Chains A and B, each alone.
Chain A
Amino acid sequence: MWKITRRGLLARKLRLALTALAIVLGVTFVTGTLVLTDTLNRTFDTLIGTAYQHVNFQIRGTAAFNNDTAAAANGTADRRPIPATIAAAIRRLPGVAYVDGSVEGYAQFVSDGNAIGGAGSALGFSFDPNRQLSSVRLVDGSAPSAADDVVMDKGTATKYHFQIGDRVRVLSGGSPRSFTITGIVTFGSADNLAGATLAGFALPTAQALFNTRGDYDTIDVLAKPGADNVGLQRAIASILPPGIQVVSGQTVASELSSAVSNALSFLSTALLVFALISLFVGAFTIFNTFSITVGQRTRELALLRVVGASRRQLFRSVLGEAALVGLVASLIGLGLGVLAAVALKALLGAFGVTLPSAPLVFEARTVVIALAVGVGVTVISAIGPARRAVRIAPVAALVAPREESGESLRRRVTIGGFAAAGGIGALVAGLTAPAILLVGLGAVAVFISAGLLAPIVARPMSRALGWPLAALVGTPGRLGRENSMRSPRRTAQTAAALMVGIALVSAVAVLGASLSQSAKANLESAVTANDIITGPSSGFSTSVAAAVSRIPGVSTVTNVYKGQFELGGSLSSLDGVTPADLRRTVHLAITAGSGAPALAVGRLLIDTTTASAKHLSVGSVVPVTFAQTGTTTIRIGGIFKANPLIGSYVVAAGFFLSHFHNPLPIAVLISTLPGAGHVERAINNYLSVYPNVGVQSRAQFEQSQQATVSQELGLIYVLLALAIIVALIGIVNTLMLSVFERTHELGLLRAVGMKRRQVRTMIRSEAVIIALFGAVIGVIIGTALGVALAASLKPQGITEVSIPSASLVGFVVLAALLGLAAASWPARRAAKLDVLAAIAVQ
């Protein structure tokens, strides 16, 4: 039996190759994701390990918030500073070889008036000339010693042609300053720190820049060789004041490693979801291909039954075929996935993220997952067709095969109906809970039920969708329409794969449009400021506001601060604004209590969503914890309608500054005097020394918020494109199978005078109808899904549900064009058919 399976595979290698391609792409995606993230993980682990390899102990402020890996990764941001006197005390302890107190902060180089590096990736720090504990190595020149000395990472120096002795402007929390480059540094063997630029200063300079005079962010300790490390750690701990802790170098390294791997696992999960989507679409394609081939082999399979093959043997034979195809496809996908990971890593390098050259990490787990997923999806998809194969009666070998007719639809309707009901139920439950897994399972069930039920509408829909084609291109178009109607199940199953892809794209489009529309509507009623200055998300110089306030025509200039705090045990984001300027910059729709007056007396404002979620009301007193000042309580003074510019929690800037050490504003809001006209130009002139920030009018700001939404949408579309490609492969495959199957008919058509061009038109018409069928159902399901998602996200700020009709129509048109493209090979194949051979095969 196995021999028959294998021979059968070889005889149908072309059509199986196409089937396999769907699996190859999915497995490539899975493997590429796993290999890339494993490799990045290993690379960062190595990088972190290198950085802390000599550090025996680190002294740092206690992490204010529990279970917060983000804070751990941020390092100093949420820890209180350490008085310099502690370093001196530790230095006196026996067994201590070296003590290195350091500070870190934001410092960004400027080249030709442009800030170098993206936001948040410009690292400034104190560079100790005698530093034995850091991986930052001086490779050229000398360490910074004077107040205007700086060392620069080799990556930046090379890319922007800086040399030792050059002057360079540096942006930080204060006013921009110029420095002289005294040396070039590397991070271990890498030219920069995973894409972040490095600016090293003499300790006093760094303390001045980062506003930490007399304090350290961390103190690294090197023990003498042979010292009793346990005893030494205890000795250090004994002299530390409360709120300051000592941990081993390994602890710091592993905290950082786990923070990095958390961030990467988010990335890999997101990518794997898209990989699974394309495999799901691939499953439809495989199911369809095996269904068709089993149908075409009815006689052969019946003959096997006649000569004595058992049902079980036949079942195993079909599944064995699927398993083999899945295995070969998975192995190819595995290989291609590794190549994809290499390419992606190179792509990261092209974007300036230079990583130490490290070998690719190819875990056994990757192989297991890739093979399990690839073979699993193929075999599971083939179970249905295999069951049909064993139901073939032996007598079928003796009678002429019949064209697929209207088989019992009752079973199909019943199962499809149950799947649809279950899916919709799961979706509703998942969206109200909210539980993302339930939503996913519900969507899967809905798609499967649509695949099951689609054959019922395939004939009338193909007739309707094909009508314009038949009218436009005449007989070939009409024949194409007839072909798409002759086997509703085949048409529907082929279209189902595309349906899933288009449905997801449509759902994303609806969600995106709603998001964008809501953002617009909310922003329009949220901001009263005429102009808004934004910069790096880590904040920018406090002197920006001061500079802008001197511009004539500007009436109010106010900083907006943002920081993390803990309220009722959960980490949240807190905004600080100036109460006196509130009215002229931000529109807070107060629903209870008061706004600016409450802020002015040190109260907390929360938005309506938070109030209802946490059951808080005006007058409630809640405990809050700040990283640097510890726990205190605050009274709620007002509740406002959710505002996209301002977060869920707002306090007065004064209160904010007293609880956050040296915060940087993340935005500056500006209002102008009536009749002052547009002051952006003047502001821009003032801001030319701050190339890291930019000013936008209110309208521009609203636009750019929407642009961000469409950028994110674009990324999702790109990731969903793979699923669409897999669906198209399914269309190519089905058409090829149909062309093989209709050899006689094509021969006859050619014999009685159908031109090659007309044959091609006929096949293309069929493909366009199949694609349109899938796209129309996909858009309908996707729109419903998108509306449901958007509606369920109302508490998250999606207040408007918007259906982007133009985009949705565009998807249908695009699908028709893609169907046309998918038909090109089968159409050529059909047109090239040898007429004589076709009619001679009796």
Chain B
Amino acid sequence: MRSLYLNRDRHEPERLASRLQWGPASPAARAVDLTKSYGAGDAVVRALDGVNVEFERGRFTAVMGSSGSGKSSLVHCLAGLDVPTSGRTFVGDQEIGRLDDAELTELRRDRIGFVFQSFNLVPTLSAAENITLALDLAGVRVDRAWFDQLVEALGIADRLSHRPSEMSGGQQQRVACARALILRPELIFADEPTGNLDSNSSAELLAFLRDAVTEHGQSIVMVTHDPRAAAYADRVVFLADGRVVGELASPTEDLVLTQMMKLGS
């Protein structure tokens, strides 16, 4: 896979500048005293128990934790897919607790990109149609240059007319990445994006996400339980029992493993 920014387009500096106006003071997303409970009475489960966390702009953050630690709930609340029990969540300066369904839908459509573990693509649409789906839904013209650049970088240019069922898992996830990036969203949420991939495909995908952050300043929050995947991030946030229990800057696979061992003991 070629680097995304070998052929950087000439508008890139302006776009970066416009992003920088937000300044480092405004994180891409944050949660304030966030709690999320499921069920009622004795059976109540606190998936999130007072989480305070910020995700910086232009950085690649991994959220780690064992299953049931609340990492998925955190991302779902931040992305406006789920409603918090209490606390506040922000995407940029926008408090998303105040948005109704239509506004949330627009927020997801225009400002957030998603890459899920599986079932990322609409089976009736071709790869190209899947990539431009959100733009088509919004009735926005596709930036052809950006599109070509993306599919070139992801190595899916020759797969554009294929349906998802005609592509490998790795190819499908790369199409999903392209769909998330075509919007140039403020933030991409990736929920175990390599969960169903073999190690080669995983490495390619993660390298691509890494490049998007490094060379383009894309903000990415990735949920994972794989230390090798987390090692691609700039920062790792550890969750356990619905709380933030630790952080690691500039992680390596060994550091992450050590930290996990420490937390686990």
Of residues 447 to 496 in A, which have CB atoms within 8 Å of B's CB atoms?
474-476, 479, 482-483, 485-486
Contacts of B110 in A (CB 8 A): 753
A755 & B116 in contact (Cβ 8 Å cutoff): no
Contacts A753-B134, A755-B137, A835-B81 hold; do A479 and B125 have CB atoms under 8 A apart? yes
Closest to B189 in A: A751
B124 & A483 in contact (Cβ 8 Å cutoff): yes
Mask for B81-116, Cβ within 8 A of A = 1, else 0? 110000000000000000001100110111000101
B122 & A748 in contact (Cβ 8 Å cutoff): yes
Contacts of A483 in B (CB 8 A): 124
A753 & B116 in contact (Cβ 8 Å cutoff): no
- Is B123 in the interface zone, CB < 8 Å from A? yes
Contacts of B120 in A (CB 8 A): 748
Contacts of B117 in A (CB 8 A): 842
Chain B CB within 10 Å — which of A750, A753, A758, A842 has the most?
A: A753
Task: Identify 12 new A-B residue pairs, CB closer than 8 A, beyond the known A748-B121, A753-B105.
Answer: A403-B123, A474-B139, A482-B124, A744-B119, A745-B119, A748-B119, A748-B120, A751-B81, A752-B179, A753-B108, A753-B138, A836-B81
- Is B207 in the interface zone, CB < 8 Å from A? no
Give the residue of A475, A486, A752 whose beta carbon is less than 8 angstroms from that of B108: A752
Of residues 159 to 177 in A, which have CB atoms within 8 Å of B's CB atoms?
none
Provide the bound-state CA to CA distance between A86 and B138, in Å.
97
A752 & B114 in contact (Cβ 8 Å cutoff): yes
A475 & B118 in contact (Cβ 8 Å cutoff): no
Mask for B188-212, Cβ within 8 A of A = 1, else 0? 0000000000000000000000000
B138 & A842 in contact (Cβ 8 Å cutoff): no
Provide 27 A-B residue pairs closer than 8 Å at the C-beta atoms, listed in order of the A residue. A403-B123, A403-B165, A475-B137, A476-B137, A479-B124, A483-B124, A486-B124, A744-B119, A745-B119, A748-B119, A748-B122, A749-B122, A750-B105, A751-B114, A752-B108, A752-B114, A752-B137, A753-B106, A753-B110, A754-B109, A754-B137, A755-B109, A755-B137, A756-B102, A835-B81, A836-B81, A839-B81
Contacts of B139 in A (CB 8 A): 474
A745 & B122 in contact (Cβ 8 Å cutoff): yes
Of residues 166 to 184 in B, which have CB atoms within 8 Å of A's CB atoms?
179
In the complex, which range does the number of interface residues on chain B fall in? 20 to 34
Provide the bound-state CA to CA distance between A746 and B136, in Å.
16
- Is B133 in the interface zone, CB < 8 Å from A? yes
- Is B216 in the interface zone, CB < 8 Å from A? no
Min CB gap B250→A, angstroms = 31
Mask for A707-745, Cβ within 8 A of B = 1, else 0? 000000000000000000000000000000000000011
Closest to A744 in B: B119
Provide the bound-state CA to CA distance between A756 and B100, in Å.
12
Contacts of B122 in A (CB 8 A): 479, 745, 748-749
Contacts of A755 in B (CB 8 A): 102, 105-106, 109, 137
Contacts of A482 in B (CB 8 A): 124-125
- Is B76 in the interface zone, CB < 8 Å from A? yes
Give the residue of B105, B114, B116, B119 whose beta carbon is less than 8 angstroms from that of A754: B105
Contacts A479-B124, A756-B101, A756-B105 hold; do A474 and B119 have CB atoms under 8 A apart? no
B179 & A474 in contact (Cβ 8 Å cutoff): no
Across chains A and B, which 9 residue pairs bring their CB atoms closest together, nearest first?
A753-B109, A482-B124, A475-B136, A753-B134, A836-B81, A836-B82, A744-B119, A752-B134, A755-B105
B124 & A836 in contact (Cβ 8 Å cutoff): no
Mask for B117-158, Cβ within 8 A of A = 1, else 0? 111111111000000011011110000000000000000000
Contacts of A835 in B (CB 8 A): 81
Provide the bound-state CA to CA distance between A755 and B136, in Å.
12
Min CB gap B121→A, angstroms = 8
Contacts of B118 in A (CB 8 A): 842
Provide the bound-state CA to CA distance between A535 and B124, in Å.
66
Contacts of B165 in A (CB 8 A): 402-403
Chain A CB within 10 Å — which of B106, B120, B122, B134 has the most?
A: B122
Provide the bound-state CA to CA distance between A91 and B186, in Å.
113
B109 & A752 in contact (Cβ 8 Å cutoff): yes
Provide the bound-state CA to CA distance between A748 and B110, in Å.
15
Closest to B132 in A: A475
Contacts of A745 in B (CB 8 A): 119, 122-123
Provide the bound-state CA to CA distance between A444 and B124, in Å.
35
Chain B CB within 10 Å — which of A475, A752, A842 has the most?
A: A752
Chain B CB within 10 Å — which of A475, A479, A751, A839 has the most?
A: A751
A748 & B116 in contact (Cβ 8 Å cutoff): yes
Provide the bound-state CA to CA distance between A745 and B136, in Å.
17
Give the residue of B82, B101, B123, B137 whose beta carbon is less than 8 angstroms from that of A758: B137
Provide the bound-state CA to CA distance between A421 and B12, in Å.
68
Mask for A497-523, Cβ within 8 A of B = 1, else 0? 000000000000000000000000000
Provide the bound-state CA to CA distance between A485 and B125, in Å.
11
Provide the bound-state CA to CA distance between A482 and B124, in Å.
6
Provide the bound-state CA to CA distance between A754 and B102, in Å.
9
Provide the bound-state CA to CA distance between A402 and B139, in Å.
32
Min CB gap B75→A, angstroms = 11
A753 & B137 in contact (Cβ 8 Å cutoff): yes
Of residues 755 to 781 in A, which have CB atoms within 8 Å of B's CB atoms?
755-756, 758
Contacts of B119 in A (CB 8 A): 744-745, 748, 839, 842
Min CB gap A761→B, angstroms = 11
Contacts of A842 in B (CB 8 A): 117-119
Closest to B116 in A: A839
Contacts of A750 in B (CB 8 A): 105
B133 & A475 in contact (Cβ 8 Å cutoff): yes
Min CB gap A161→B, angstroms = 64
Closest to A483 in B: B124
Contacts of B106 in A (CB 8 A): 753, 755
Min CB gap A333→B, angstroms = 38
Contacts A482-B125, A483-B124, A842-B117 hold; do A752 and B133 have CB atoms under 8 A apart? yes
Contacts of B134 in A (CB 8 A): 752-753
Contacts of A479 in B (CB 8 A): 122, 124-125
Min CB gap B2→A, angstroms = 26
Min CB gap B20→A, angstroms = 26
Contacts of B108 in A (CB 8 A): 751-753
Contacts of A752 in B (CB 8 A): 108-109, 114, 133-134, 137, 179
Closest to B136 in A: A475
Provide the bound-state CA to CA distance between A476 and B124, in Å.
12
Chain A CB within 10 Å — which of B136, B137, B139 has the most?
A: B137
Provide the bound-state CA to CA distance between A758 and B139, in Å.
12
Min CB gap B130→A, angstroms = 9
Provide the bound-state CA to CA distance between A756 and B102, in Å.
8
Contacts A751-B108, A835-B81 hold; do A474 and B133 have CB atoms under 8 A apart? no
Provide the bound-state CA to CA distance between A161 and B23, in Å.
93
Min CB gap B116→A, angstroms = 6
Contacts of B124 in A (CB 8 A): 479, 482-483, 485-486
Closest to B121 in A: A748
Provide the bound-state CA to CA distance between A129 and B124, in Å.
86
Provide the bound-state CA to CA distance between A756 and B101, in Å.
8
Min CB gap B78→A, angstroms = 12
Provide the bound-state CA to CA distance between A839 and B116, in Å.
9
Closest to A481 in B: B124
Provide the bound-state CA to CA distance between A755 and B125, in Å.
18
Closest to B107 in A: A753
Min CB gap B257→A, angstroms = 26
Min CB gap A324→B, angstroms = 34
Provide the bound-state CA to CA distance between A357 and B101, in Å.
59
Give the residue of B102, B114, B123, B136 whose beta carbon is less than 8 angstroms from that of A474: B136
Contacts of A485 in B (CB 8 A): 124
Provide the bound-state CA to CA distance between A758 and B133, in Å.
12
Provide the bound-state CA to CA distance between A748 and B122, in Å.
8
Give the residue of A486, A751, A839 whose beta carbon is less than 8 angstroms from that of B123: A486
Provide the bound-state CA to CA distance between A835 and B102, in Å.
13
Provide the bound-state CA to CA distance between A758 and B134, in Å.
12
Chain A CB within 10 Å — which of B119, B125, B138 has the most?
A: B119
Min CB gap A381→B, angstroms = 29
